Amino acid sequence: MQPYVLPYIGYFQLIQEAGTFVILDDVAFIKKGWIHRNRILLGGSAHLFTLPLQDASQNRSIKDTFLVADDLWKLKLVKTIRSAYAKALHFREGMAILEEILETRETNLSRFAVRSLETVARELGITTTLRLASEEFPNLRDARGQDRILDLCMASKATRYVNAIGGMELYHPEAFREKDVELRFLRTKIEPYFQLGREFVPYLSILDLLMFLGAEQTREHLRFFDLVE
State the pLDDT at residue 198.
Answer: 83
Q: Which of 58-67, 104-113, 136-145, 156-165 has the lowest mean pLDDT?
A: 136-145
Q: Chain-wide mean pLDDT for the chain?
A: 95
pLDDT at 15 over 90: yes
pLDDT above 80 (res 227): yes
Which SS3 state, helix, strand or coil, does residue 80 take? helix
4 and 37 Cβ atoms separated by less than 8 Å: no
Phi and psi at residue 22, to the nearest 5°: -95, 125
Distance CA 3, CA 118 (A): 11
161-193 pLDDT, tens digit per residue, is 999 999 998 999 999 999 999 999 999 999 999
190-206 per-position pLDDT tens digit = 999 999 988 999 999 99
Long-range contacts formed by 92-95: CB under 8 A, 24+ apart: 93/210, 93/214, 93/215, 94/207, 94/210, 94/211, 94/214
What are the boundaries of each domain within the chain? 9-228
Number of Cβ within 10 Å of residue 181's Cβ equals 17
Q: Are 87 and 196 in contact (CB under 8 A)?
A: yes
Q: What is the pLDDT of residue 59?
A: 84
- C-beta separation of 116 from 101 below 8 A: yes
For residue range 96-132, list pLDDT tens digits in order: 999 999 999 999 999 999 999 999 999 999 999 999 9
How large is the angle between the packed helices 109-123 and 9-17, nearest 10 degrees?
Answer: 80
